[in-house]
Chains A and B, each alone.
Chain A
Amino acid sequence: MRFFICYMLLLCSLANVVAQDCTSSLGGRVLDYHNSTALVKATILIVGTQKQVYSDEKGNFTFNRLCDGSYELEVSHPLCATRIIPITVAGNTSIEIRLEHHLEELEEVQVVGDAIPNKTNSAQEATLTSETLEKFSTASLGDALRELGGVSSLNTGANIVKPAIHGLTGSRVLILNDGVRMQDMEWGDEHAPNVDINAIESVSLVKGASALKYGGDAIGGVVLLEQGIFPVTKDTLFGKTLLNGVSNGRGGNISSSITKVFNKGWYLKGQGSYKRLGDQEAPDYILSNTGIQEFGASLAFGKRLFEWGFGAKYAYYDAEIAILRASHVGNVDDLIRAINSGQPQIIEPFTYDIANPRQQVRHHLGKLHAYKRFEGLGKWSVQYDFQSNRRFEFDVRRGDRDNQAALDLELTTHTIATDFRWDAKDDFTLDVGLLGRYQDNFANPDTDVRRLIPDYERYDFGSFVTGEYRINDQWTLDVGIRYDFSQIDAKKFYQTSRWLTQGYNVDFEDIIIGTVVDGEVVDGLIDYNAQQILTNPIFDFHNISTTAGIQFSQNNNSTFKFNYALSQRAPNSAELFSDGLHHSAARIELGDLRINSETSHKFALFQEKSFKNWGFILEPYAHFVSNFILLEPTDLEFTIRGAFPVWSYRQTDVRLLGFDSSAYINWTNTWSTEHQFALVKGNDLDNDIPVINIPAANLQNKLIFRKPEWNDLELSLRSNYVFRQNETPPNIMVFSAEQGEMVLLEINTPPDAYHLFDFYGTMQFGLGDTTTLTTSLGVNNILNTTYREYLNRQRFFADDLGRNILLQLKLNY
């Protein structure tokens, strides 16, 4: 096409040569799009000719002795995206050319290696590239995140993995999936993020609440799941297919994505993946009922130009996850028996069947977004997103209720958000934004089980201002403030016995709106002799978050950062309302209407240094949370089933101190090692006891052999040593009906330290011009070591996974 234009132009000019003297000139200036400063040494080329000039100190340039006619200019600058500009020359013509130099924002560069841009100026951050994510193609997001220092996970078996940052998880960790904050019942311990890891191309992690743009309540941190960025100016088609097989679970997955980019900025992208695993295995036995079936698909299209663009996206995720059969217990005696027996009470032959207990989740995500840049000012973006999250939990039930869910929740969320980024000045950027959100939770009564979480509506409103100021080449300062309002308006049934024992009749009598008589709600009646009453709690929360920090970068080899973040988080619906028996834990969990927001202060340092053959990163932090909401045993209740410990949400002051550290050494061109150590200590200051579920210290060492000449051969051997968590809250005394006395329930006794070895090897083969095949082989837990992990809720019932061999074929085209 371009050739054709050039050809025409050439013809044109030839014709003109005859017709007239070529004495016209073309002059002009090359300016920065944002702040109108002159761009020096920009190259201006008349396409199809040898004529090329450079802009001077003031951005000026001139072509002399041109013929009148139409030309195309190619304007390029080392820091900017190249532009092609059509122009008509008639006599002495002048033109003003504006170039964009914020390349990372233009998202036109292909991200390679570690070039994922930072999300904040001064907070502790880490990233995962698509290569790392691909290694975890058959696992989950939480597993991949554990590669990063300071990230652990709270597991329920191997398939339900909730990421934890510096010891904090659940509602304290925000997950943004391509700019959309995931709303997926993250409040439950056994609710993992509903994300297909194969749909993600890179991950950025902010360890703390410093990324105010995304939310003020990220007391643990923010996980940003991002899409790859691709050139938008040329017509291309590319894709990727991954095929995985794993031995443990005797299954695998397939995942494929394809992107089509049209030359006018239009793009279309589709992706899909399917995973199926059967029962997984510990070294000595089958973990009966631990299979999984997962399906994910997404479709996105839009137009992306430098000055404006818009896009639409739809993503679907569906997972059916079996829960270890032996982890379903009827009462505290069953739990004691399970803990004492040392191996699962139920071991059956391998099967692909997913039986009860199991959970099924369906997540729909829709997003519309648009942006527009204003010359010399900045960029304005607006986004609307919709999410629907449906969760079924099927329990081991009596009668023909196996296909009747015991928990059936439907969470619908609409969010509209807008922000403006003012980046006209080189040394100063300002970001302001607004957000509105409406959420509706529907707890389906067809379960015939009392609702664990009630029906509620929640309204959120947020606004923020953040600024970044570059003092000089070395120092950059950032500050930010955010305000969030949220209201939760619930309709909850309470058993009158629960209402009275909680003392709500004293504090909350005004929220009762009716009493259940003969299975019907009678409005306005308060009758404590009835079994259930209906209440309408409405709570408002006003939260402020701020952050301030500084970064000092001497050169590319040394960076120092300090950050302080104050953040507040409103209690989630589980912390306020949860009320019921938890079968996998043999405990009654109780929320408390009196719970209010928690407030966190986090001080974090970051120090990175690289030398010729080695480098290190050290990240210490001190984190103080007042009114920290935690769940702990408070009481014992007797039912016809036996005794149950009662775990209640309460608030206390907590201190978390820790550090993450990592280092690499390049011993030779081919041999290198990587080292990582993370430690965190959590204390409940009011009671002077350790905080529950704090990850144990862990040390990872990796030996790597790389030989690019041999088809990009890479081999690595990793050792992962997890220490015993010696600081846990005390065990509790419970009544055992079987033994007829109070006995110690070793619910908090940590498992022993363990040491695992993993191997990973990969090679690449070129198949034609644009196609590459990557093969890789991984072996996890090479020695088939028997171990249990403190942060796996199934550690009471069974050993963790045994050896797993993974084989992967990747085709890039």
Chain B
Amino acid sequence: MKTLKFLSMFAFLGLFLVSCSDDDDDNPDPVNEEEVITTMTITLTPQGGGGTVVTLVTRDIDGDGPGAPVDDVSGSLAENTVYDGAIVLLNETETPPENVTEEVEDEDDEHQFFYVVGGGLNATTEYANFDGDGNPLGTEFTLTTTTASTGTLQFVLRHEPTKPNTGLGDAGGDTDIERTFDVTIE
């Protein structure tokens, strides 16, 4: 009889636990991804004043979702011009959008931008900002154009690359951004 009592206690305990864990009908909280980068804006300003500022924008509003990034290039670059380049990264899933560039610049030793000129574009790039160890960071750079041409400009942001490095080939690290723009110099 003692056993039976004991057993019924188990059963009761089981039911009790089941019933009390089933008390929340509330909706879960949505997650706002703070870490995601949705937008990269590259502003190219001709040195010495004058000329037309060119912006390259890529926006991927659903992050890792199925929507592809949408690119927008405001216009053509001028021949034989030195541009000051500045890269701004935003997380536009938040309101107001969060500026991720600051986070990247705070951890300058763990990040580096790479620029790849491709497809016959007559241009070269130089780093314009560096981390505490004097290695390139690259949220600021200069772009120097020569003669008229068309081609591509690729921007790659690596997290925890090997520093110093000689370029994408031996930098390693994880890719946070990789985007290629079609660009014209005329």
A interface residues (Cβ-Cβ under 8 A, vs B)? 308, 310, 328-331, 333-334, 337, 345-346, 368, 370, 372, 382, 384, 386, 396-399, 401, 412, 414, 416, 436, 438, 440, 443, 445, 447-451, 454-455, 457, 491, 493, 495, 497-498, 501, 513-514, 516, 518-521, 523, 531-532, 534, 580-581, 583, 588, 637-642, 644, 646, 737-738, 740
User: When the two chains form their complex, are residues A640 and B177 in contact, meaning their CB atoms are under 8 A apart?
Assistant: yes
Within 8 A of A (CB), among B3-56: 3, 6-7, 10-11, 13-14, 17-18, 21-22, 27-35, 37-40
- The 7 lowest CB-CB distance pairs between A and B, nearest first, are A330-B174, A330-B175, A642-B178, A640-B60, A416-B14, A638-B68, A495-B65
Question: How far is it, in angstroms, between the C-alpha of A581 and the C-alpha of B69 when the chains are bound?
Answer: 16
CB distance from A738 to the nearest CB of B (A): 7
| Contact (A368, B10) CB under 8 Å given A398-B35, A640-B40 | yes
Question: How far is it, in angstroms, between the C-alpha of A333 and the C-alpha of B22 when the chains are bound?
Answer: 46
User: When the two chains form their complex, are residues B18 and A414 in contact, meaning their CB atoms are under 8 A apart?
Assistant: yes
Chain A residues within 8 Å of B30, by CB: 445, 493, 516, 519-521, 532, 534
Chain A residues within 8 Å of B7, by CB: 370, 382
Chain A residues within 8 Å of B158, by CB: 330
Out of A520, A583, A641, which one reaches B178, CB within 8 Å?
A641
The 24 sampled A-B contact pairs (Cβ below 8 Å) are: A310-B3, A310-B6, A330-B174, A330-B175, A330-B176, A331-B175, A333-B178, A345-B172, A368-B13, A370-B6, A382-B7, A396-B159, A399-B103, A399-B106, A412-B21, A414-B17, A454-B28, A493-B28, A495-B62, A497-B67, A498-B66, A514-B27, A531-B61, A640-B37
CB distance from B172 to the nearest CB of A (A): 4
Chain A residues within 8 Å of B18, by CB: 414, 436, 438
User: When the two chains form their complex, are residues A513 and B27 in contact, meaning their CB atoms are under 8 A apart?
Assistant: yes
Question: How far is it, in angstroms, between the C-alpha of A800 and the C-alpha of B133 when the chains are bound?
Answer: 35
CB distance from A269 to the nearest CB of B (A): 20
Question: How far is it, in angstroms, between the C-alpha of A423 and the C-alpha of B68 when the chains are bound?
Answer: 65
Question: How far is it, in angstroms, between the C-alpha of A684 and the C-alpha of B100 when the chains are bound?
Answer: 46
Chain A residues within 8 Å of B13, by CB: 368, 384
Closest Cβ neighbor of B9 among chain A residues: A368
Q: Does B107 interact with chain A (Cβ within 8 Å)?
A: yes
Out of A330, A346, A497, A518, which one reaches B66, CB within 8 Å?
A497
User: When the two chains form their complex, are residues A330 and B28 in contact, meaning their CB atoms are under 8 A apart?
Assistant: no
Closest Cβ neighbor of B111 among chain A residues: A398
Q: Does B154 interact with chain A (Cβ within 8 Å)?
A: yes
Chain A residues within 8 Å of B38, by CB: 640
User: When the two chains form their complex, are residues B32 and A519 in contact, meaning their CB atoms are under 8 A apart?
Assistant: yes
Closest Cβ neighbor of B152 among chain A residues: A740
- Scoring A330, A333, A382, A449 by chain B CB atoms within 10 A of each residue's CB, the highest score goes to A330
Closest Cβ neighbor of A443 among chain B residues: B28
User: When the two chains form their complex, are residues A641 and B177 in contact, meaning their CB atoms are under 8 A apart?
Assistant: yes
Chain B residues within 8 Å of A368, by CB: 10, 13
- Scoring A382, A447, A450, A454 by chain B CB atoms within 10 A of each residue's CB, the highest score goes to A450
CB distance from B155 to the nearest CB of A (A): 10
Out of A382, A583, A737, which one reaches B10, CB within 8 Å?
A382
User: When the two chains form their complex, are residues B172 and A346 in contact, meaning their CB atoms are under 8 A apart?
Assistant: yes
Closest Cβ neighbor of B60 among chain A residues: A640
Question: How far is it, in angstroms, between the C-alpha of A644 and the C-alpha of B107 when the chains are bound?
Answer: 26
User: When the two chains form their complex, are residues B175 and A639 in contact, meaning their CB atoms are under 8 A apart?
Assistant: no
User: When the two chains form their complex, are residues B32 and A334 in contact, meaning their CB atoms are under 8 A apart?
Assistant: no
User: When the two chains form their complex, are residues B69 and A640 in contact, meaning their CB atoms are under 8 A apart?
Assistant: yes
CB distance from A473 to the nearest CB of B (A): 37
Chain A residues within 8 Å of B106, by CB: 399
User: When the two chains form their complex, are residues A497 and B104 in contact, meaning their CB atoms are under 8 A apart?
Assistant: no
Chain B residues within 8 Å of A740, by CB: 118, 152, 180
- Scoring B156, B158, B174 by chain A CB atoms within 10 A of each residue's CB, the highest score goes to B174
User: When the two chains form their complex, are residues A498 and B65 in contact, meaning their CB atoms are under 8 A apart?
Assistant: yes
Out of B27, B31, B40, B100, which one reaches A449, CB within 8 Å?
B31
CB distance from A300 to the nearest CB of B (A): 16
Chain A residues within 8 Å of B107, by CB: 398-399
Q: Does B160 interact with chain A (Cβ within 8 Å)?
A: yes
Closest Cβ neighbor of B100 among chain A residues: A398
Chain B residues within 8 Å of A738, by CB: 156, 168, 178
CB distance from B170 to the nearest CB of A (A): 10
Question: How far is it, in angstroms, between the C-alpha of A401 and the C-alpha of B176 when the chains are bound?
Answer: 15
Question: How far is it, in angstroms, between the C-alpha of A310 and the C-alpha of B8 when the chains are bound?
Answer: 13
User: When the two chains form their complex, are residues B177 and A737 in contact, meaning their CB atoms are under 8 A apart?
Assistant: no
Chain A residues within 8 Å of B27, by CB: 491, 513-514, 521, 523, 534
CB distance from B157 to the nearest CB of A (A): 9
User: When the two chains form their complex, are residues B17 and A398 in contact, meaning their CB atoms are under 8 A apart?
Assistant: no
CB distance from A488 to the nearest CB of B (A): 14
Question: How far is it, in angstroms, between the C-alpha of A642 and the C-alpha of B178 when the chains are bound?
Answer: 5
Question: How far is it, in angstroms, between the C-alpha of A431 and the C-alpha of B180 when the chains are bound?
Answer: 66
Q: Does B122 interact with chain A (Cβ within 8 Å)?
A: no
Q: Does B95 interact with chain A (Cβ within 8 Å)?
A: yes
CB distance from A796 to the nearest CB of B (A): 15
Question: How far is it, in angstroms, between the C-alpha of A534 and the C-alpha of B30 when the chains are bound?
Answer: 8
Closest Cβ neighbor of B103 among chain A residues: A399
Chain B residues within 8 Å of A518, by CB: 95
Chain A residues within 8 Å of B32, by CB: 448, 519
User: When the two chains form their complex, are residues A447 and B31 in contact, meaning their CB atoms are under 8 A apart?
Assistant: yes
Chain B residues within 8 Å of A451, by CB: 31
Q: Does B142 interact with chain A (Cβ within 8 Å)?
A: no
- Scoring B34, B38, B100, B104 by chain A CB atoms within 10 A of each residue's CB, the highest score goes to B34
Out of A516, A580, A737, which one reaches B154, CB within 8 Å?
A737
CB distance from A415 to the nearest CB of B (A): 8
Chain A residues within 8 Å of B179, by CB: 640, 737
Q: Does B93 interact with chain A (Cβ within 8 Å)?
A: yes
Chain B residues within 8 Å of A520, by CB: 30
CB distance from B25 to the nearest CB of A (A): 10
